[in-house]
Amino acid sequence: MPTLVGCNTCDGSGAKPGTSAKTCGTCGGVGQVRMQQGFFSVQQTCPTCHGEGQVVSDPCNDCHGQGRIEETKKLSVKIPAGVDTGDRIRLAGEGEAGTHGGPSGDLFVQMNVRDHAIFERDGKHLFCEVPISFIDAALGGELEVPTLESRVKLKIPAETQTGKLFRLRGKGIKPVRGGAVGDLLVRAIVETPVNLSNRQKELLREFESAMDDSQQHHAPKKTGFFDSVKKFFEDMT
Ligand SMILES: [Zn+2]
Ligand SMILES: [Zn+2]
């Protein structure tokens, strides 16, 4: 990134090599002048040296008397585990060079965590969606779930509805300032099968008629929904 670094040619003084900055004649090097205004005397920043106390009569060619030049620096930054968007990392002495050879300031690097393809982050907790087949959802099964370190197995109970959240404790992020590791929250998303063959479609039709014949409620949400709709229209009449 571009920053101001001390000029090597003049060692940050701003004066051409071999010459040096001279004490300002106007203020005597104080940087301030007193002006008499009637009865009052007013202290002001020296207009000749702009408060620096020194004037460069023979400015350095490289930095034009500024003592600093703009340079692009490449820095590598160690990112501690667990940093989040908005955290700042301080790099002591890597900021802009001071004026006239003064010490450099610090550089603050502001973190901005990029979105991840699989995980969403909420502080120390992670969140991800995992598709499951409607067979696994109905009968129960085992899912492979990605975590930051490895894959883990997650048992899905029978009759799992879409959107159900499973909490994997301690599989989230270790906070950078210490404290308990966060959790990984896995949302099971039941997927509708696509590209079915005629045979598969036939089996599903057969399955559907088996459901119709049964007196059980196989679809709690659907049953509840149509019961509500029925009641809604009954109440209207
Ligand atoms: Zn210079
Ligand atoms: Zn001055």
Distance CA 148, CA 154 (A): 15
Non-local (6+) Cβ contacts of 57 within 8 A are 15, 19, 22
Q: Where are the domains of the chain?
A: 120-194
Mean pLDDT to the nearest integer, 173-195: 92
Phi, psi of 191 (to 5 degrees): -100, 135
Compute, in angstroms, the gap from residue 74 CA to the centroid of ligand 1. 22
Contact between 54 and 13 under an 8 Å Cβ cutoff? The reply is no
Compute, in angstroms, the gap from residue 100 CA to the centroid of ligand 1. 9
CATH for the 120-194 domain, from 2.60.260.20, 3.40.50.720, 2.70.98.10, 3.30.450.20: 2.60.260.20
pLDDT of residue 215: 67
Taking the CA of 49 as reference, the closest ligand is 2
pTM of the predicted model as reported, rounded to 2 decimal places: 0.62
Distance CA 37, CA 30 (A): 20
pLDDT of residue 109: 87
Distance CA 234, CA 225 (A): 14
Give per-residue pLDDT as tens, 197-218: 999 999 999 998 888 777 677 7
Distance CA 210, CA 231 (A): 27
Compute, in angstroms, the gap from residue 109 CA to the centroid of ligand 1. 28
